[in-house]
Amino acid sequence: MTYLVLVKFLQEYSNLELSNQIYVVPCMNPDGVEISLTGSQSAGKFKNLVKKVGNTKKWQANGRGVDINHNFNAGWKDVKKREIANGFKGPNHTRFGGTEPESESETQAIVKLCKKENFDLAFAFHSQGEEIYWDFGSNTPKESKK
């Protein structure tokens, strides 16, 4: 679903007469997508970890069992407390943010890009199944729900 939302956004954006640049990162977790589609055999050197964790059909983490969406240094300590309270204390198919913020190469790449380009605005299209997440606590712009 995220891909379809991204394509629709790009179609709408391309119809506007603007001189702004736009950067698109179509997938921040390609190994996680591959694991969810084809199973643990696609996890390379992390195949045994993925097998041990299991639940590849609902896999949201990278090959190391870290959920990239939980790995950014944006409320990381609060997210970590919720993870632990919900039993996510180590590599998992979902909701384990790693041992420290920005520990994963995928996260580091996005952070590096954002720091280099110093964007005025960023959209993070993220979905799970048929859900669209638009809220990020006190950091949510008023127009986000729309």
The more confident residue out of 67 and 17 is: 67
Residue 23 burial (CB count, 10 A): 9
| For residue 18, pLDDT beyond 70 | yes
pTM to 2 decimal places: 0.86
Structure confidence at residue 130 (pLDDT): 66
Structure confidence at residue 17 (pLDDT): 86
**Helix, strand, coil distribution of the chain in percent, nearest 5:** 50, 5, 50
State how far the Cα of 71 lies from the Cα of 46, in Å rounded to an integer.
Answer: 18
State how far the Cα of 86 lies from the Cα of 34, in Å rounded to an integer.
Answer: 26
Q: Which of 36-50, 97-111, 119-133 has the lowest mean pLDDT?
A: 119-133
pLDDT in tens, 35-94: 999 999 999 999 999 999 988 988 999 999 999 999 999 889 999 999 999 999 999 999
Structure confidence at residue 26 (pLDDT): 87
User: What is the dihedral angle through the alpha carbons of 84, 2, 26, 34, rounded to the nearest 10 degrees?
Assistant: 60
Structure confidence at residue 128 (pLDDT): 64
